[in-house]
């Protein structure tokens, strides 16, 4: 059999396997993340929107604290789901005055320098998504203290966000 005829069946088989492989991988999606930890006291972080675009402002509100006083800082953390883990990307900084713009601090520059500033109450507090945020699944992580008289408990709350183009 001439050499030119020998390569044809092999090329057809490679093409068929390539097309099958493309069809097999095209339907794959990024694995879903596991459920976020929930507050044992039933406290939740609520976002004003669960779908947003880069650069948008959102409001965060704490719900379910009952009669506890909620003490929260000015910082929240935006984490991106990469298919395997939640990767912290930005610190979202709440302004202290109504006319100020919320701040964004890329964590690749290191942790933000935050003075010990406590906000009291459930919010809402304003945060702004980074302008260069890529579409995907994100979550906001917020630490709060719940105070009842002389008893104080720290809670870490999570809320998911889909960023779209």
Interior angle at CA 37, CA 95 and CA 85, nearest 5: 85
Distance CA 100, CA 27 (A): 45
How large a percentage of the chain has pLDDT more than 90? 62
Residue 89 confidence (pLDDT) above 60: yes
Residue 21 confidence (pLDDT) above 70: no
Bridge-based pairing state of the strands 57-63 and 69-72 = unpaired
pLDDT at site 153: 92
What mean pLDDT is reported for the chain? 83
Residue 134 confidence (pLDDT) above 80: yes
Bridge-based pairing state of the strands 119-120 and 69-72 = antiparallel
Higher pLDDT, 27 or 148: 148
pLDDT at site 16: 40
Phi, psi of 11 (to 5 degrees): -65, -40
pLDDT at site 101: 79
Q: Which of 54, 89, 77, 31 is nearest to 162 (CA)?
A: 54
pLDDT at site 88: 94
Q: What are the structural domains, with CATH classification, of the chain?
A: 44-163 (2.60.40)
Contact between residue 70 and residue 62 where contact means Cβ atoms under 8 Å apart: yes
Per-residue pLDDT tens over the stretch 30-78: 789 999 999 999 999 999 999 999 999 999 999 999 999 999 988 999 9
Distance CA 154, CA 41 (A): 11
């Amino acid at each position: 059999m001439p050499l030119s005829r020998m390569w044809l069946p092999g090329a057809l088989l490679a093409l068929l396997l390539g097309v099958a492989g493309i069809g097999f991988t095209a339907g794959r999606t990024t694995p879903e993340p596991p459920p976020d930890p929930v507050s044992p006291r039933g406290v939740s972080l609520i976002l004003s929107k669960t779908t947003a675009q880069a650069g948008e402002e959102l409001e965060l509100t704490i719900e379910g604290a009952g009669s506890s006083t909620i003490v929260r800082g000015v910082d929240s953390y935006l984490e991106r789901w990469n298919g395997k883990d939640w990767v912290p990307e930005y610190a979202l900084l709440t302004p202290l005055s109504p006319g100020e713009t919320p701040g964004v601090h890329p964590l690749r520059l290191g942790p933000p320098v935050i003075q010990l500033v406590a906000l009291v109450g459930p919010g809402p507090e304003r945060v702004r998504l980074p302008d260069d945020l890529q579409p995907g699944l994100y979550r906001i992580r917020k630490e709060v203290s719940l105070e009842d008289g002389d008893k104080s408990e720290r809670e870490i709350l999570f809320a998911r966000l889909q960023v779209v183009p």
